[in-house]
Structure 1
Amino acid sequence: MLHALKEFFDHLTTSEPELAPAQQVQLATAVLLVEVMRADAGKTQAERQAVLALLQQRFALQGPALAQLVAQAEQSAEQAYDYHRFTASINDHCSQPQKLEIIESMWQVAYADAQLGAHEHQVISKIADLLYVTHGEYIGAKMRAKEAAGLV
């Protein structure tokens, strides 16, 4: 028991290498997209492909760099106990239009399999609040993503 506590506190105090702001935003965005994918109990290949395509388009990443970002995002998402670390990075380094693009991208992942799960909706709603996205902006992003998916 004491050994487990020591490991826990050691893990908390070890510092990860500091990422540049652009890398922080890339990782934070990737984690949020992965979280939408993870929220769907029946996570599909369509959602995974949407995550890859959105990250490739947004950050001009390809091949190994894209695969590494997604792997790191999946690991960070599994280890995270809340979204604050990721949303704080986005709030610190992104404009309001950039935040809206992230929320719209999250909706695109959710709609990639043509089904919106309740947990996906909940995750996006919570993150939109943490990014200070208004309800009107949130609904607008949702409708644009739904239309882009051909579900309107």
Structure 2
Amino acid sequence: MFDQFQKFIQSLGGEEKPELARDDPRVAAAALFFHVIDADGVSEPVEREKLQQLLERQYGVHKDELKKLVDAGKQAEDESVDFYAFTSVLKRSLDAEQRVNFIELLWELVYADGVRHELEDNVVWRVAELLGVSDRDRVLMRQRVAARLGSGDGS
């Protein structure tokens, strides 16, 4: 009886949106974004800002929806023990070209604070490997981002 009443009350508030699931590619991407910016042990405000910009640009989410996605990604990343769960979701949902483009997004996060830290570099390498992105494409994406940002770190 109480359950029926609760469902009735919920129906009055309009259609309830389902929570973001860990197997949602957007959550997987956000979790990996967090892992990159946290890799060097310092999460700068500029990196978090860049993370939100990338999610907005890639997935067309804004305001409340963006906050939910960021929160879900952070929680998923905090609860994870490895990259495999996230990369497997992305590998199933992205084609080869989109996976290369995703690696480019990771490089944008690496360079967001103006410093390419070796731990961030290692995370991108491991994610690229799990996504099936070649070393060549990973390096080309790093060079592309470095050139676009004028970092002079295209090596």
Between the two proteins, the alignment pairs up a number of residues equal to: 134
Q: Secondary structure at the match of 1:139?
A: helix
CA apart distance, 1:122: 0.8
The whole-number CA distance in structure 2 between the counterparts of 1:43 and 1:19 is 25
The whole-number CA distance in structure 1 between the counterparts of 2:40 and 2:124 is 12
Q: Residue 116 of structure 1 aligns to which amino acid in structure 2?
A: R
Partner of 1:50: 50
The whole-number CA distance in structure 1 between the counterparts of 2:149 and 2:89 is 29
CA apart distance, 1:58: 0.3
Q: Is the contact between residue 84 and residue 130 of structure 1 (CA under 8 Å) also seen in structure 2?
A: yes
Q: Residue 106 of structure 2 aligns to which amino acid in structure 1?
A: M
Q: Which has the higher contact order (CA 8 A, sep 6+)?
A: 1
Partner of 2:131: 131
- CA shift digits 1:16-65 (9 cap, x unpaired): x8949xx7111111111111011122221111111000110000010011
Cα RMSD, aligned residues only: 1.7
Sequence identity of aligned pairs in percent?
A: 24
The whole-number CA distance in structure 1 between the counterparts of 2:132 and 2:118 is 21
- CA shift digits 1:98-132 (9 cap, x unpaired): 11111111110010011011110111100000000
Q: Residue 63 of structure 1 aligns to which amino acid in structure 2?
A: K
Q: TM-score, normalised by structure 1?
A: 0.83
The whole-number CA distance in structure 1 between the counterparts of 2:21 and 2:39 is 27
Q: Which sections of structure 2, spanning at least 5 residues, go unmatched? A: 1-18
Q: Is the contact between residue 20 and residue 69 of structure 2 (CA under 8 Å) also seen in structure 1?
A: no
